[in-house]
Amino acid sequence: MKSWMKVSAAILITAMICVPLTATVIGTDSHKLSVAGSTTVYPLMAELQKEFEKFANVDMNVSGGGSGVGVSSTLNGVADIGMLSRDLKEDEGGGQLVPHVIAKDAVVVIVNKNVGLPNKEAGIPDLTLEQLAGIYSGKYNDWGEVGGKAGQKIAVIAREEGSGTRDCFEAALKTVSGGFVAKERDVNSVNSTGAVLLSVQNTPGAIGYINLNVEIFAYPGITKVTVDGITATSENVQDKTYEISRDLILVTKGKETGMVKFFMDWILSEDGQRTVESSGFVRVN
């Protein structure tokens, strides 16, 4: 083997060993805060991180992985804070985890503009929760049955089984008298917000639902609807008059201390909650 090859091989091997080592050393910095969990909460956390780092001398590190990873990472101490887009399950965390509601998210119902629903106040059409449950359980199949254009078939668009948005939506529908069982046939389940918007835009007679923070100005064929006459505004979500909503939760292990406590307090402060609001979520206080 030529000598330059030997030299370069040696350099490469040394580099292989040294770079990760030094990187690890450099990486372990003073005030560190690591957060992991739900990808739904992630965008909000990214905004909070940006603001909080301006405010405090801290090196934050936020990763996804899902609610499950959020719980387990917090439990075994890899993360200081876990993000959840659902409630903490009873058997989860063995009683060691403390949940904190930091924001609320709501689900907004959207329809294709051609469904012929009459505009109510503020120029927005309305559906009752009972009507929504009827549509999504298969009781109503024509827009005429819910006050829209008779003869226009309802094209039901839902999120995929397992989606947090879907869980939130269906949980609200279950509160109507007579219960709610989602119909399974003739439902177009799509697995992203983008796909919901596209489907509702392109399909005549379509109805779907999206998160509150999603902008629909790029989709002129879509209109939001109010539910039981209530618009999904921050105030309505906050005081629970708008029913289709859920909590975004952070969990900590035991009672929080130090930097974790500082961060949690900051989130619930006016500064933190303003960031929550500007990210399209609903403040809790």
Partner 1 sequence: MKNEDNTIKRVKKFNHDIVMKYLLMAVASATILIILFIIIFIFANSSGAIRDIGIIEFITGTVWKNSEGMYGAVPLIVGTLLVTFGAIMIALPLGLGTAVFISEVAPKRLRNILKPICEIFAGIPSVVYGFFGLVVLVPLLGTIFPDHLLSGTSWLAGSIILGIMALPTIISVSEDAMRAVPRSYREASMAMGATRWETTRRVVVPAAISGIAAATILGIGRAIGETIAVMMVTGNSPMIPEPLWNIFEMLRTITATLALEMPDAASGSTHYSALFLLALILMFIVLLINYVAKVVIKRARRKFGDTSGTSFTKKLPKLTYAVRIPKALWVIASVAITFTISAFLFNLLMAVVYSSFVFLISALLITVVFETAEKEKAKKEEKRPPRAKQHTILSKLMPNVMRSITLIAMFAFVWMMASLFFDRQTTGIIAFVSVIVMLASAPVGKKLGATIREKVAHGSLVLVMLIVVAILVVMLFDIVSKGLPALSLDFLLKYPEDRGMSGGIFPAIVGTIQLVVGTMMIAFPLGIISGIYLAEYSKNTRFTRIIREAIDLLNGTPSVVFGLFGMTALVIFLGVGIALIAGCITLAFMVLPVIIRTTEESILAVPKELREASLALGASKWETTIKVVIPAAFGGVITGLILSLGRAAGETAPIMFTAAAIYSSSISFSLLDPVMALPYHLYILATEVPGSTTMQYGTALVLLIMVLFMFGMASLARHRYSKNIKW
Encoded tokens for 88: 């903490």
* Residue 283 phi, psi dihedral angles, 5° rounding: -75, 155
Q: Does 33 bind partner 1 (CB under 8 A)?
A: no
Smallest gap from residue 60 Cβ to partner 1 (A): 9
Q: Does 199 bind partner 1 (CB under 8 A)?
A: yes
Q: Does 230 bind partner 1 (CB under 8 A)?
A: no
Which of residues 222 and 225 has its CB atom nearest to partner 1 in the complex?
A: 222
Smallest gap from residue 19 Cβ to partner 1 (A): 8
Which of residues 159 and 283 has its CB atom nearest to partner 1 in the complex?
A: 159
Q: What is the DSSP string of 51-119?
A: HHHHHS--EEEEEEE-HHHHHHHHHTTS-SEEEESSPPPTTGGGG-EEEEEEEEEEEEEEEEGGG-PPB
* H runs (alpha helix) in the chain: 3-27, 42-55, 67-75, 129-137, 164-173, 193-202, 234-238, 258-268, 270-278
Encoded tokens for 215: 């902008």
| Interface with partner 1 in residues 56-95 (CB under 8 A) | 61-69, 71-73, 76-79, 85-86, 89, 91-92
Smallest gap from residue 13 Cβ to partner 1 (A): 9
DSSP state of 152: P
Binding site for partner 1 (CB under 8 A): 1, 16, 19-20, 23-24, 26-28, 34, 36, 38-39, 42-43, 46, 49-50, 61-69, 71-73, 76-79, 85-86, 89, 91-92, 155, 157, 160-162, 164, 166-167, 170, 184-185, 187-195, 197-199, 202-203, 206, 214-215, 218
